[in-house]
Amino acid sequence: MSFFVVQFLTGLASAASLFLVACGLSIIFGVTRIVNFAHGSFYMLGAYLAATIVATLPVGIFSYWGSVLVAALVVGLIGIVVEIVVLRRIYHAPELFQLVATFGVVLVVQDLTLAIWGPADKLGPLAPGLDSAVNIGGQLLPEYDVALIILGPAVLGLLWLLFHRTRWGTLVRAATQDREMVGALGVNQRRIFTSVFFLGACLAGLGGAVQIPREPISLMMDLNVIAEVFVVVVIGGMGSILGAFLAAVIIGELNAFGILIFPEITLVLLFLVMAVVLVIRPRGLLGKPELTVGAQPAQIAAIHLPGPATKLAMGVLFAVLALVPLFAGDFLLVLLIEVMLLALFAASLHFIMGNGGMVSFGHAAYFGIGAYGAALAVVHSDSPMELALVLAPTAAGLAGLVFGWFCVRLSGVYFAMLSLAFAQIAWSVVFQWYEVTGGDDGLLGIWPSEWASDRFAFYYLSLIIVAGGVLMLRRMIFSPFGYALRAGRDSPLRSDAIGINLRHQQWASIVIAGAFAGLAGGLYAFSKGSVFPDAMSIPRSVDALVMVLLGGVDTLAGPLVGAAALIGLEDAISRFDYWRLILGLVIILICVTAPNGIVGSLKLAFAGRRERE
Amino acid sequence: MLEASGIDAFYGQAHILHGVGLSVGRGEVLALLGRNGAGKSTTMKSIIGLVRPAAGSVRLDGAELAGLPPHEIARAGIGYVPEERRVFTELTVMENLSVGLQPARDSTPTWTPERLFELFPNLAEMRDRQGGRMSGGEQQMLTIARTLMGNPRVILLDEPSEGLAPVIVDQMARTVQELKRDGLTVLLSEQNLHFASAVADRATIIEKGIIRYSGTMAALAADEEARAAYLTV
Ligand SMILES: Nc1ncnc2c1ncn2[C@@H]1O[C@H](COP(=O)(O)OP(=O)(O)OP(=O)(O)O)[C@@H](O)[C@H]1O
Ligand SMILES: [Mg+2]
C-alpha cells in the first residue's frame, strides 16, 4: 500500500515542473494567440542557468532557492528579448509563421546553449536541507519531492491571486478574451504582451530550474519537454491555468504508474487518455470555445489552375532533371535524389496545409513510419524493395487513418499541437523499442533491389515516383475533392451548410498526404541504406514546414523550390559548427520579412510590376 | 471638437468609405444615420483606429489622430462603445469597469464607479456579476459605463438602441440626454430615427460609404425626401 502512496506522491512531484511550463505556455497563448515552440528552450535555459548560478554560491538553502528564482527571472528577461525581437513582428502573421519562427528560436537557443555550456550532460546539485528522504511505511520519498508537491499548488494559488486581485491580471484576462477591445479602451497592448511573455518565460524557467536535482541537464531537455507540455495543454485546455494543473497531475500520475507496468506502455497510456479527453471534450478539460473576435486575417489566396506557362515550366524542369545524370557526378545525383524525395514529402504536407488549412507539426511521423515500414520489412522478413515500397505508403496511410481521426476533431493550433504530439509518440516508440527498431542505432542494410542499386537507376526510379506523386497530388487539388477541401478551409460553416462533411474530407486528405509522405520516406530509407529515429523527429517535421514556407503556402511549385532551397542551405552551412544557429536565424528572418515564401514573393513582385506597367 | 474629413477605408480589397467627413461640436450630439451596411460602424472604427484609414484626417481639438494605434486615440480622449458591445464576459461588472479606467482629465468630469452606478442604477445591484450573465440591456449599459471610466471628451456610441426592448431604449435615450447635460460630446450611429430624434441635435446621413446629407435634426424631420431616399427601407 505504502508503495502506491509513494508512487502517487512521486507522480505529483513530477507534475509540478510540467505544470509550471505548461501554464506559462497557456498564459502566453491566451493573450498573444501564439503557441510558443521555444517554451521548451526557456525550460532548458532555466535548468542550465540555475545549475550555473548555484555553483558559484556557497552551499545553503538560501543560495539554492535564490539561484532558482534568479534563473527564472533571467529566463523571463530572455523571453522579453525574444518577444521584442521576433514575436512582435509576427503577431498578425498566419499561425504557421508564428510556430515556425518560434522554432527558429529553438534552434538558436540550442546552439547558444551548446556554445556556452558544451555538449556534455550536467548533473545539478541536491537541494540543501532537502537532500534526504522521508520514510512512508517503509518506502522512501525524497524530501525534495515533498517541496515540489507543495510548490505546484502554491504557484497555482499565487497565479490565481495575480490574475484576480491585481489590475494587471484583470487586463490580461480581458485581453485574453478580446485584446482589440482592450486597446480601444486605452490600454497599451504591447506592454501587456511583453509582460505576459515575461511571466510565461519565467514560469518555464522556474520549471526547468526546480528540476536540476531530479534529472540530468542536457541539450535534449527542450524538445523532450515541449511534446509533453503540448499534451498537457491539449488535455487541460488552452488558456486554462487550472486545466494545465489538472492535466499535469494526470500526466504525472500516468508516468509514475505506467512505468511500473512497462516503460513503453506509458506512451500508449498518454495517448489513450488524450484520445478519450479529446473525443469527449475537443477543447480539453477546461478549455473554452475559441473566440473569434479579433482573429487573424486569413492570408490564404486562391490556388489557380496551372496555366500553360506553369505546365511548360514543370515540363522543362522534368526534362532537365531527366537529363542531369548524363553529365552530373555522383555527388550531385545523391543531392538531387534527396531534394526530390524531400520535395515529395513537402508536397504532401502542402496538400493538407495549403488546401485543407491544416498546419501539421508532426508530418515527419508519416515520413518516418514509411521509412521504418520499408526498413522493418527488409530487415525482419527479407522483403524485396518493391514490396517494401508498397508497404511504406500503406503503413503511413494507416497511421494517417489513426492520427487523422483525432486530429480532424481539432482546428488551428490544437491541430498543430496534437499532430506534433503524435509524431513525438511515434518517435519515442521507435527510439525505445530497441529489439525491433534498433533504437538509436537505427536499422542498417536497407539496399535497393539489384536492378535499382546503381545510382543512375535509383535516380530515375526516384524521379519517376516523385514526379508521379506530385502530379497525382496536383490532380487531386483540382478535383472536386480538392475544391471541397478548400471550401472547408475558407469557411467551415458554409461548407457544412452545403452538405460537405468537412471532417471526412480532411480525414481522407490526411490519409492521402500520409501515404505520399510514407512513400517518400520508404524511398529515402533505400537511398541511404539505413534509417534512424530522426526520420520522424521534430526537426524533420519542421524541415517539411520550412520547405513549404520557403516556397510559399499558396503556390504549387512552392514545395519543390522550398526543398531545393532548404537542402542547398543545409548543405552550405553544415560545414559550420553552429549550423543550427544559422538555420534558426534564416528561418526567423524569412518569417519576419517574407511571409509569402520565395515563389509567392516572386509572384507578388511580378504581379506588382504588371500592375504598375 | 471632433472633426473627420476625407476618410477612405478598406476591408482587404473592398473600398468601404469614400471621403467621409463629419464634425461634432463641443457638447453636441450628432447622429450618424444610414441603412444596414451603409458604413456607420466602419466610420466609427476609422475614428478610433480599429480600422486604419487609408486617407483622410481625424482631429480632436485640432490634434491629428489618424494613423495612431487605438490605445493612443482613446487616451487622447475618444471613447468607443462598439455595436457588438464586446463586454468581457468572464469579468465581473467591477472588473469590466476597471479595464476602462484611465487617469482623470482637467477638461472633463471624472467618472468613478459610484458615479456610474448613479447613472445606471441597475448595474449597482450586480457589481460582482459576470458580464456573460447579464441581459442585453444591462450589457449595453455596462459597455457605456466601461468607456466612461476613461473620462472621454467625445464618446462614439455605435447603435446603442439595437436589439433592446422599447422600455430600455427609452432609458437609454434618457441616459444620453443626461450625458449631454454633463457636457459630453456624443457621436451616435443609429438606424432608429425615433431614438435619434429624441437625443440628437444634428444628423449626418451616410449611404454606401458616402455622406449624403447633413443638417439639424429638425431640418431632417421636415425633409421627407431625404428620409425617403436614404433612410426608410
Ligand atoms: N470585417 C469586415 N470585412 C469585410 N467587410 C466588412 C467588414 N465589416 C463590414 N464590412 C462591410 O462594410 C460595409 C459597411 O459595414 P458597416 O458595418 O460599417 O455598416 P453599418 O452601417 O454599421 O451597418 P449596420 O447598420 O448593419 O451596423 C458593409 O457592406 C459590410 O458588409
Ligand atoms: Mg454597424
pLDDT digits (tens, 9 = 90+) for B115-149: 999 999 999 999 999 999 999 999 999 999 999 99
Q: Which residues make beta-bridge pairs with A136?
A: A139
Inter-chain touch A297–B74, beta carbons under 8 Å: no
Residue A290: its pLDDT value, please? 59
Mean pLDDT, residues B73-97 taken together: 96
Residue B92: its pLDDT value, please? 96
* Residue A397 in this model has a pLDDT that exceeds 60: yes
* Residue A272 in this model has a pLDDT that exceeds 80: no
**Cα four-point dihedral sign A553, A559, A560, A565:** positive
Residue of B nearest to A190 (CA): B71
Which CATH number fits the domain that encloses residue A146? 1.10.3470
CB-based contact B201:B214 (threshold 8 Å): no
* Residue A300 in this model has a pLDDT that exceeds 50: no
Predicted confidence (pLDDT) per residue in A518-552, tens digit: 999 999 999 999 999 999 998 899 889 888 887 77
Residue matched to cell numbers 490574475: A163
Residue A52 domain flag? yes
Enclosing H/E stretch for B216: strand B210-216
* Residue A462 in this model has a pLDDT that exceeds 80: yes
Residue A107 domain flag? yes
Enclosing H/E stretch for A461: helix A455-477
Please tell me the distance between residue B11's alpha carbon and the centre of ligand 1 in angstroms.
Answer: 9
Residue B7: its pLDDT value, please? 96
* Smallest-distance ligand from the CA of B37: 1
Give yes or no: residues A187 and A102 share one domain.
Answer: yes
Q: Which residues line ligand 1 (CB under 6 A)?
A: B 11, 14, 16, 34, 36-42, 83, 191
Q: Which one-letter DSSP state was computed for residue B161?
A: T
Residue nearest to atom 17 of ligand 1 (CA): B41
- Residue B85 near chain A (CB below 8 Å): no
Mean pLDDT, residues A494-521 taken together: 85
Give yes or no: residues A267 and A370 share one domain.
Answer: no
Comparing A21-25, A430-434, B86-90, B178-182, the range with the smallest average pLDDT is A430-434
* Residue A292 in this model has a pLDDT that exceeds 50: no
Query: Distance from B220 to chain A by nearest Cα, in Å?
Result: 32
pLDDT band at A315 (very low <50, low <70, confident <90, very high): confident
Query: For chain B, which residues make up each domain, given as ranges?
Result: 2-230
* Smallest-distance ligand from the CA of B38: 1
Mean pLDDT, residues B94-121 taken together: 92
Enclosing H/E stretch for A45: helix A39-56
Residue A304 domain flag? no
Write out the DSSP string of A199-237. Answer: HHHHHHHHHHHTTTTTS-B-TTHHHHHHHHHHHHHHHH-
pLDDT band at A556 (very low <50, low <70, confident <90, very high): low
Residue B91 main-chain phi, psi, to 5 deg: -95, 150
Better-predicted residue by pLDDT, B104 or B231: B104
Integer CA distances (angstroms), A443 to A67, A439, B124, in order: 44, 8, 72
* Residue A271 in this model has a pLDDT that exceeds 80: no
Give yes or no: residues A366 and A265 share one domain.
Answer: no
* Residue A323 in this model has a pLDDT that exceeds 80: yes
Residue A551 domain flag? no
CB-based contact A130:A147 (threshold 8 Å): yes
Task: Say which residues have a Cβ less than 8 Å from residue A114's Cβ, sequence separation at least 6.
Answer: A219, A578
Report the share of chain A in percent with pLDDT over 90: 47
Task: Say which residues have a Cβ less than 8 Å from residue A156's Cβ, sequence separation at least 6.
Answer: A19, A23, A241, A242, A245
- Residue A293 near chain B (CB below 8 Å): yes
Residue nearest to atom 5 of ligand 1 (CA): B11
Average pLDDT of the residues of chain B: 93
Q: Rounded CA gap, A417 and A39, in Å?
A: 13
Residue A342: its pLDDT value, please? 94
Containing structural domain, residue A474: 349-536
Residue A294: its pLDDT value, please? 34
- Residue B98 near chain A (CB below 8 Å): yes
* Residue A302 in this model has a pLDDT that exceeds 60: no
Predicted confidence (pLDDT) per residue in B8-62, tens digit: 999 988 999 999 999 999 999 999 999 999 999 999 999 999 999 999 999 999 9
What the block records as the C-alpha cell of B177 is: 440626454
Residue A298: its pLDDT value, please? 40
Inter-chain touch A186–B90, beta carbons under 8 Å: no
Predicted confidence (pLDDT) per residue in B200-216, tens digit: 999 999 999 999 999 99
- Residue B100 near chain A (CB below 8 Å): yes
Comparing A41-45, A385-389, A452-456, A511-515, the range with the smallest average pLDDT is A452-456
Residue A595: its pLDDT value, please? 66
pLDDT band at A95 (very low <50, low <70, confident <90, very high): confident
Residue A414: its pLDDT value, please? 79
Residue A296: its pLDDT value, please? 37
Q: Which of A254, A280, A306 marks a domain boundary? A: A280
Q: Which of A219, A249, A280 marks a domain boundary? A: A280
CB-based contact B8:B181 (threshold 8 Å): no
Going by C-alpha positions, the residue among A590, A512, A576 that lies closest to residue A545 is: A590
Going by C-alpha positions, the residue among A459, A456, A468 that lies closest to residue A314 is: A468
Residue A263 domain flag? yes
Which atom of ligand 1 lies nearest, measured to the CA of B40?
A: 21
Residue nearest to atom 13 of ligand 1 (CA): B37
Q: Please state which CATH class domain B2-230 belongs to.
A: alpha beta
Give yes or no: residues A354 and A475 share one domain.
Answer: yes
Predicted confidence (pLDDT) per residue in A46-83, tens digit: 999 999 999 999 999 999 999 999 999 999 999 999 99
- Residue B152 near chain A (CB below 8 Å): no
Going by C-alpha positions, the residue among A205, A225, A576 that lies closest to residue A584 is: A576
Q: Which residues in chain B have their CB less than 8 angstroms from residue A174's CB?
A: 88, 91, 95-96, 99
Give me the helices (H) in chain B, please: 40-48, 70-76, 93-100, 113-119, 121-124, 136-148, 166-181, 193-199, 217-222, 224-230
Residue A273: its pLDDT value, please? 82
Residue A301: its pLDDT value, please? 47
Inter-chain touch B71–A178, beta carbons under 8 Å: no
Tell me which residue in B49, B69, B86 faces A181 most closely, judged by beta carbons: B86
Q: Rounded CA gap, A489 and A415, in Å?
A: 13
Q: Which residues make beta-bridge pairs with B204?
A: B32, B214
Q: Rounded CA gap, B71 and A191, in Å?
A: 11
Residue nearest to atom 2 of ligand 1 (CA): B11
Gyration radius of chain A's alpha carbons: 25
pLDDT band at A10 (very low <50, low <70, confident <90, very high): very high
CB-based contact A286:A245 (threshold 8 Å): no
What the block records as the C-alpha cell of A169 is: 491580471
Residue A30 main-chain phi, psi, to 5 deg: -50, -45
How would you classify the pairing of strands B210-216 and B55-60?
Answer: unpaired
Measure the N-to-C terminal CA separation of chain A; round to a whole number of Å: 82
Which chain A residues in 158-177 lie under 8 Å from chain B, judged by CB atoms? 167, 170-171, 173-174, 177
Q: Which residues in chain A have their CB less than 8 angstroms from residue B12's CB?
A: 297
Mean pLDDT, residues A374-380 taken together: 93
What the block records as the C-alpha cell of A454 is: 546503381
Q: Which residues in chain A have their CB less than 8 angstroms from residue B82's CB?
A: 181, 184
Residue A264: its pLDDT value, please? 65
Residue A39 domain flag? yes
Residue A607 domain flag? no
Comparing A104-118, A483-497, A525-539, B135-149, the range with the smallest average pLDDT is A483-497
Residue A291: its pLDDT value, please? 47
Better-predicted residue by pLDDT, A387 or A280: A387
For residue A479, count CB atoms less than 10 angstroms from its CB and return exposed for 0-12, middle for 13-18, buried for 19 or more: exposed
Helix (H, G, I), strand (E, B) or coil at B3: strand
Residue matched to cell numbers 460553416: A493
Count CB neighbours of A311 within 10 A.
Answer: 11
Which atom of ligand 1 lies nearest, measured to the CA of B44?
A: 18
Residue A499: its pLDDT value, please? 63
Please tell me the distance between residue B43's alpha carbon and the centre of ligand 1 in angstroms.
Answer: 10
Residue A138: its pLDDT value, please? 85
Inter-chain touch A170–B102, beta carbons under 8 Å: no
Residue A598: its pLDDT value, please? 67
Residue of B nearest to A189 (CA): B71
CB-based contact A211:A47 (threshold 8 Å): yes
Report the share of chain B in percent with pLDDT over 70: 99
Report the share of chain A in percent with pLDDT over 70: 91
Neighbour-count burial for A59-86, b at 16+ CB within 10 Å, e otherwise = eeeebbbebbbbbbbbbbebbeebbeeb
* Residue A192 in this model has a pLDDT that exceeds 50: yes
Residue A497: its pLDDT value, please? 64
Integer CA distances (angstroms), A88 to A218, A565, B146, in order: 30, 27, 28
Residue of A nearest to B149 (CA): A185
Total number of domains constituting chain A: 2
Mean pLDDT, residues A236-259 taken together: 90
Mean pLDDT, residues B70-95 taken together: 95
Residue A23 domain flag? yes
Q: Rounded CA gap, B155 and B145, in Å?
A: 11
Q: Rounded CA gap, A32 and A196, in Å?
A: 9
Average pLDDT of the residues of chain A: 87
Q: Rounded CA gap, A576 and A367, in Å?
A: 27
Dmax over Cα atoms in chain A, in whole Å? Answer: 85
Classify the phi-psi angles of B86: left when phi > 0, otherwise alpha if psi is within -120 to 50, otherwise beta.
Answer: left
Please tell me the distance between residue B180's alpha carbon and the centre of ligand 2 in angstroms.
Answer: 22
Task: Say which residues have a Cβ less than 8 Å from residue B193's Cβ, sequence separation at least 6.
Answer: B33, B227, B231
Inter-chain touch B90–A173, beta carbons under 8 Å: yes
Residue A560: its pLDDT value, please? 80
Q: Rounded CA gap, A502 and A408, in Å?
A: 9
Q: Rounded CA gap, B121 and A429, in Å?
A: 63
* Residue A451 in this model has a pLDDT that exceeds 80: yes
Task: Say which residues have a Cβ less than 8 Å from residue B65's Cβ, sequence separation at least 6.
Answer: B47, B49, B58, B59, B72, B73, B76, B78
Q: Which of A225, A247, A280 marks a domain boundary? A: A280
